[in-house]
Amino acid sequence: MTLKEALNKYNYIIDTYDGLSFSDKMETAELMKDMAVCLSYLTMHRIDAQKEWNSIVFNHQGTNASGERHADEKVPQLYELRRIHEAGKAILDTMRSQISLLKSEQ
């Protein structure tokens, strides 16, 4: 899955979850599965971005700090993927808590 496809899927999951009724346990469970798979793909892209970033820093002629700034400019998706991944994990945790609460209410 390309990065663009993974991000589109991620956004679809977020939008769908946002529109769900709190009591929709089955749809939430399905979205949890989709989010876990999506985060896995995003992790692969994050690893690739980290390797690219490391290579730029390593090959940079100058200080380590200037190499890091240069790599940040050349690989902005690394920062973005970190934040998206953190947010996705938080949403996945929320979904998990929701399912647990709904099970305990039965």
* 60 domain residue, yes or no: no
* 79 domain residue, yes or no: yes
* 27 domain residue, yes or no: no
Q: What is the 3-state secondary structure (H, E, C) of 22-49?
A: CCCHHHHHHHHHHHHHHHHHHHHHHHHH
- What is the tally of structural domains in the chain? 1
* 54 domain residue, yes or no: no
Domain holding 89, by residue range, is 66-100
81, 39 in Cβ contact below 8 A?
no
* 29 domain residue, yes or no: no
Report pLDDT digits (tens) over 53-77: 999 999 999 999 999 999 999 999 9
Q: CB neighbours (10 Å) of residue 46?
A: 19
Distance CA 15, CA 19 (A): 6
Report pLDDT digits (tens) over 1-33: 999 999 999 999 999 999 999 999 999 999 999
* 45 domain residue, yes or no: no
Question: Helix (H, G, I), strand (E, B), or coil: what is residue 55?
Answer: helix
* 28 domain residue, yes or no: no
